[in-house]
Amino acid sequence: MFCIVYNMKYIDLFCGIGGFHQAMDQLGGECVFACDIDAQCREIYEKNYGIRPHADITTVDAKTLPDFDVLCGGFPCQSFSNSGKKKGLDDKRGMLFEYILSIAMEKKPSFLFLENVKHIKKIDGGKVFTFLLKRINESGYRISEESVFELSPHQLGVPQQRERVIFVCVRTDIPPRQVSIVPPNPKIDSQSIFETSPSPKYKLSKEVEEVLEAWDEMIQHVEVGETLSPTILCNEFHKTYTPEEFAALAKWKQDYIKRNQPLYQKYKSAWDAWYAKHPLLSKREVYGKLEWQTGKKKANDSIFHHFIQLRQSGIRVKKTNYFPTLVAIVQTPIYAKERRYITPRECARLQSFPDSFVLHEKDQVAYKQLGNAVNVKVVHFVIQKTLETYSMWV
């Protein structure tokens, strides 16, 4: 694909391992400052880019920063993510957003590109999102709902469904232009992500494999066309509650128990024999919960035909057209066909980092860093389209 190269200087705030850095470098940018509070991210950033990020954005004196044209920032999502406590701007991590604006107001770059989880638009009934747009506009940058773009890697040919929003903020003295973000949605080749000879160390543990085999055994008892939802809580099938005890359960759990009953009753003898055969299902809470997200059961279906994640919410089974969303919490996807976890290098490919990128030597750290990273292709696509639209100003 043809790409214009821009001679622009940029800073990389909340830089992590440099998703924005990768994208901006591909566009000809020069990084003049980076910042991240995570020491291990700073270590990897320096290894790959030769820049040692500043450790704490709250101690940055904007007046001392070199001039730059673009400010990039994947500002903290813990305050806004579905997996967080959703405290929004009451959380001090959410207020770190203000440090971005203070730097922008001092240095006045042409553009701000800010990335976050898509759920940020819904927090507190949309009040947080409205507040963020208001603060950006008050800080000398033009932003509206129409210039906050939602995009996922799978729309750009990367087999990972991971919706994020990118705020495109333009300094108010620059005449407005309409940026068009229309993803190409090309055909996706999941196989291109896999390593040819992954290390045996990524194989599933005997215990996890046994749990998956147990669930696969039960799935074979289920008729083709059967709906396996909502989340099946097999450890609840034989519990009894008084009305008061049941009422005290979380509402979601009450709902699942009630909605599981028809499926349990239909295959009761099979469920009972299966559960007695596999005591391991009650060893950990996650083992006894199945989230079947592949649609109705198909002929010759198997749990080992799909991608799997062991999550707090259960054993999540998803179709293999896209990899499960990578997250900062280590819930490494399982490639069930090969009965192994995907490798850190495969995760890096899902985040559009080149194979030349140096990963952290500890797998658990690398998984976390990649799960928290900005997807390179996503931000590159938005930034490139924006710069093309405003090319007379850059």
Catalytic, 15? Answer: no
C-alpha span between 155 and 153 (Å, rounded): 5
Query: Token pair of 54, please?
Result: 């500043």
Query: Token pair of 190, please?
Result: 């999941």
Q: Helix (H, G, I), strand (E, B), or coil: what is residue 115?
A: strand
C-alpha span between 303 and 196 (Å, rounded): 23
Cβ-based neighbours of 239, under 8 Å, separated by 6 or more = none
Contact 384, 3 (CB under 8 A): yes
What is the sign of the dihedral through the CA atoms of 315, 320, 322 and 326?
positive
Distance from the first to the final alpha carbon of the chain: 21
- The b-or-e profile of 322-346 (16+ CB within 10 A means b, else e) is bbbbbbbeebbbbbbeebbbbbbbb
Picking from 61, 72, 36, the residue whose alpha carbon sits closest to that of residue 51 is: 36
C-alpha span between 365 and 10 (Å, rounded): 27
For residue 63, the number of C-alpha atoms closer than 13 Å in the C-beta half-sphere is 0
Q: Catalytic pick from 15, 31, 41, 77?
A: 77
C-alpha span between 265 and 342 (Å, rounded): 37
- Which residues are the active-site residues? 77
